[in-house]
Amino acid sequence: MHWKKLTNGYLLIADKGEDVEEAILNFCSEAGVRHGFISGIGAVRDVELGYYDVELKEYKRKFFGGSFEVVSLLGNISLYNNKEFLHAHISLADRGNNLVGGHLFKATVSVTLEVFFIESKEEIIREDKGSLKLIR
């Protein structure tokens, strides 16, 4: 993973074989950013997605093997227990251009992943993994 500061945000590039969440959180640590918003495109493989069942109040997890185009990676970085926490959703296209998507639990970069990060000047505090609370 390498990154560059732009005038209006940051661009980070994760390389083949890197874990998506790990790369993004490593970027936060290196760049010293703690709150913000991400959007990304690229290609990933071996993805675990979640669907939050509101009645059971739990995630249904599903694994997708193989490589996919990242049509859209969207999410935010907030503080949870005073540590940077990534909440991201992802849309993926397979070889036939069929889409799947959901809450991102795990994905490995298969070619590259280009993520644009916009830092929030205000703190974004997460009270639990499911809800955000804005303080200050």
Chain contacts with Zn ion (rule: CB under 5 A): 103
- Our CB check for Zn ion shows the closer of 66 and 130 to be 130
Q: How far is the CB of 104 from Zn ion (least distance, A)?
A: 8
| Rounded distance between C-alpha atoms, residue 43 and residue 114, angstroms | 9
Residue with smaller CB distance to Zn ion, 45 or 87: 87
Residues in the chain, total: 136
Longest C-alpha distance within the chain, in Å?
A: 46
Gap between the Cα atoms of 17 and 128, Å rounded = 30
Q: Which among 71, 3, 51, 63 has a CA at the least distance from the CA of 31?
A: 3
Judged by beta carbon, residue 4 or residue 60, the one nearer Zn ion is 60
For the CB of residue 8, give the shortest distance to Zn ion in the complex, in Å. Answer: 26
Q: Residue-wise over 58-71: b if at least 16 C-beta within 10 A, else e?
A: ebeeeebeebbbbe
Min CB(10)–Zn ion separation in Å: 22
Least distance from Zn ion to the Cβ atom of residue 54, Å: 12
Nearer to Zn ion, 103 or 106 (CB): 103
